[in-house]
Structure 1
């Protein structure tokens, strides 16, 4: 995982090969760390290939966390075009889109300035009866609108989230103060 965070996919690959040469069995967590090492380094095709490799390894079926890492990589790389196929693959494997994954998609679109897509992702979350918005959802939406100077939408969503039972935190107020001040 540390090699992935340091964007050293070659070293992560070498370590993975050592693991295999020692006849040790990689776990879902090891594979997921390798997915992150590739994805966060901009090697999305390698990350996707690693997920495919996982599916062929006994006891290493990718889980929701694996897919959340993969979707987060897509968001950071602005490869939103890949997310629908990843969500379809999750569904095919019997995995549900959880709150973390919804939040990752919402936050990614917001940071990319794709506000309409961000709201569509929020609508998808709200339609999914298994997931409810939380403080991370609220702060992502508020940040995106505030960052783009759309104060009316920021305030509207602040109120909407409170009606949904999401209470603001210190970060929420920091985001809003900076938005009012135009510091984003």
Structure 2
């Protein structure tokens, strides 16, 4: 005995047998008033969940026979059914699941041509995902480009699906180009995107590109360190061994985002597989400690570094001097700066500018001026940053006449005041810069 139509409705079309679903479909066609398009969509969803894809297609085909078995639109409109995007998405999904990718693509293109429904992200992802799984990666790529020209833009999931499929189809360069394109469009890749890309690069032995990818993630604005960390943990599972470079990249990202404890733990971990930290590693650790105002620990670490036979360079001392200045320890910073020649190191523009800024901050403008002049004599000419730092120091001490003189000198050397210098001049004197 057939299940009654009303019982099926009350059960939300939860057709347990395919015969019930077919019976309900025919009953719905005869009903007055006609059920809503939502009701048809719901029935279709149930049939698809039952994996009776052929029946779902035959339901539509029965409404109107033609060369194109899914040309059901005329009868839909004739019977006042306005199919929505959910209806078509369900049918397209069913076609893909029934291994009828060509028919799914034809149906989708017909929807586009006749403008029978408004696309949404779910439909776009359904089509992209179905094509990629069916091995039609380039078609999916072309549709992705087409979608991008419509009002409904592809999202990170659609881009990720195509990138993953390109990598699996050995088109790694195309995947890298698509990754760059999505970033240019302001779509942020997620961990799945990066993982697919890393897997593709490792599969084809492109180790340098794989490391560059991790570096890019860490160095991107607003540092995607969490994604980089997840990829870092995946490295040994992808046939890409850890080395000092990959550890240095990750250490840099962790310290830059104030994850100091994790950074120090990673430094200890890197020595377990017999990896020897290099100068870049130690400088990265020192910078992290100084950023965290752990100056005493930084100097202890300096001694460890020297004991290991790693000689500090000018960058090492620049980090330490900057850390001392930021911590208000100008006297120690000045002594360390003055000791550099005895260590066989020549102060560079960056380290001189740090000292000049701190001297001005503490009111030692004359000493800062002497250092500025000494820089010129020692073939270490001040740059735009140096002049701006010094002039700002003068203005904060209300030494306006001297600041104007150095401003003229700055102009003669082809440098321009930055926004902070201009603001200070306007505040004190109302000077207008042309």
Q: TM-score range by the shorter chain?
A: 0.7 to 0.9
Q: For 1:44-102, what per-residue CA distance to the aligned partner results, in whole angstroms no more than 9, with x for missing partners?
A: 454333223211222x2122111111111111111111123322332222211100110
For the residues of structure 1 that align with 2:198 and 2:298, how far apart are their CA atoms?
40
Choose which of 281, 298, 304 in structure 2 pairs with 1:118: 298
Q: Determine whether 1:146 maps to 2:325.
A: yes
Aligned to 2:352: 173
Aligned to 1:52: 233
Aligned to 2:204: 25
**TM-score computed with the length of structure 2 as normaliser:** 0.37
Deviation of 1:167 (Å): 2.0
Q: Determine whether 1:70 maps to 2:250.
A: yes
Question: Is this contact kept in 2: 1:142–1:157, CA < 8 A?
Answer: yes
Question: Is this contact kept in 1: 2:198–2:213, CA < 8 A?
Answer: no
Q: 1:69 to 1:11 in 2, by over 3 A?
A: same
Question: Is this contact kept in 2: 1:13–1:34, CA < 8 A?
Answer: no
| Pair member with larger Rg | 2
Question: Is this contact kept in 1: 2:225–2:253, CA < 8 A?
Answer: yes
Q: What are the residue-to-residue correspondences of 1:75-154 with 2, within 5 Å?
A: 75-129=255-309, 131-154=310-333
Deviates more, 1:94-103 or 1:14-23: 14-23
Deviation of 1:137 (Å): 0.5
Question: Is this contact kept in 2: 1:99–1:132, CA < 8 A?
Answer: yes
Gaps of 5+ in 2: 1-175, 362-388, 394-434
**TM-score computed with the length of structure 1 as normaliser:** 0.79
Q: For 1:33-53, what per-residue CA distance to the aligned partner results, in whole angstroms no more than 9, with x for missing partners?
A: 443455455554543332232
Q: For 1:95-145, what per-residue CA distance to the aligned partner results, in whole angstroms no more than 9, with x for missing partners?
A: 11100110111112212322122222222212211x110010011111111
Q: 1:72 to 1:150 in 2, by over 3 A?
A: same
Q: 1:21 to 1:134 in 2, by over 3 A?
A: closer
Q: 1:14 to 1:177 in 2, by over 3 A?
A: same
